[in-house]
Amino acid sequence: MKIFIPTKTYLTKTQVNQQLIKPKSIIDSIQKLIEFFKSSNGKVLVLTGAGISTDSGIPDYRGPKFASLHEFRQRYWARSYLGWPLMKKAKPNNSHYSLSKLQKNNYIQKIITQNVDELHQKSGSKNILELHGTLNQIHCLNCGHIKQRSDYQLILSDLNPKWNDFLKNIELGNITPIVRPDGDMDLPHGTSYDSFNYPSCVQCSAGIYKPSVVFFGENIKDSIKNETVEFVKNCKSILVIGSSLATYSAFRIVKLASDLGKDVAIINLGETRGDNLSFLKIDFPCGNLLPDIADQLTKS
């Protein structure tokens, strides 16, 4: 007896998206996006990634060993300690303010962000869902006690005077290391973190603090997943800005939107995992587009 085993057919990018629009100029891109916003009747869901914050000085990463390895936590908190001042000082850029302006004028319904910098909130945007959490607070893995990251920075300074001296040199401009998107500073290979101290939870004394962000290997809370589903169901279209959709947590949002028949537009430098699902792909920096779009759509 022959057994028939069905095989899945994968379509090529051309077969999937024969009608993909890829404007070749900034002017044409702006016009296409204006048409996109107008046709969405105020029900645009925006999904942002690291690319929207690069103009704020935050470069365009997370690990599963935090809870189990003391050495990993030393490394993380030392690098986070050095990178925190830059993250704290980061201000919204024109792209953030443009989205806020569009939202206030009823062109954008809600915003989902992969970023952990809270720059959307600082720009005045509302109805924001932080897919991967926020760097601005930490929590105890044992009792759940929540503490503000700025307060924790002061404790780390008291516990690590030599690292504090190193930080002062950075702030004086004597050292110019690289800060990663998640707020930790990239130090030379071979740097020792053995001397870095971090405290136990001030509430239960038994637990350790962790930044309230989703590390690689960790799962997004079911409540967040459910909320993203509701956001997608209630929108007419979705606009991806500054994300390659490399993480499945972001890609599944776009895939769900596509499966539900929502229009998908993408602004990103380079290819994304969701290009096959979009009808409009803009390959220009969002900072060159969004301010003009917001100005033209909100003219009195």
Is the pLDDT assigned to residue 174 strictly greater than 90? no
Which segment of 91-95, 149-153, 176-180, 217-221 scores lowest on mean pLDDT? 176-180
Mean pLDDT of all residues in 29-55 = 96
What are the sequence ranges of the domains in the chain?
13-60+62-297
Which segment of 32-41, 110-119, 164-173, 281-290 scores lowest on mean pLDDT? 164-173
Q: Is residue 235 part of an annotated ligand binding site?
A: no
Q: Is residue 201 part of an annotated ligand binding site?
A: yes
> Residues 6 or more apart from 6 whose CB is under 8 A from it?
none
| Cα–Cα nearest to 182, from 112, 46, 287, 82 | 82
Give the C-alpha separation, 280 to 258, whole Å.
13
Sorting pLDDT into bands at 50, 70 and 90, what band is 169? confident
Contact 265, 33 (CB under 8 A): yes
- In the chain, the amino acid numbered 9 is T
Q: For the domain bounded by 13-60+62-297, which CATH number is listed?
A: 3.40.50.1220
pLDDT at 273: 96
Give the C-alpha separation, 202 to 289, whole Å.
47
Contact 210, 66 (CB under 8 A): yes
pTM of the model: 0.86
Catalytic residues: 132
Mean pLDDT of all residues in 196-205 = 96
Q: What is the torsion angle, in degrees rounded to the nearest 10, for the CA atoms of residue 117, residue 207, residue 145 and residue 72?
A: 0
> Residues 6 or more apart from 139 whose CB is under 8 A from it?
145, 146, 147, 209, 210, 212
Sorting pLDDT into bands at 50, 70 and 90, what band is 57? confident
Among residues of the chain, what percentage have pLDDT more than 70? Answer: 86
| Cα–Cα nearest to 112, from 14, 259, 249, 298 | 249
Mean pLDDT of all residues in 118-144 = 96
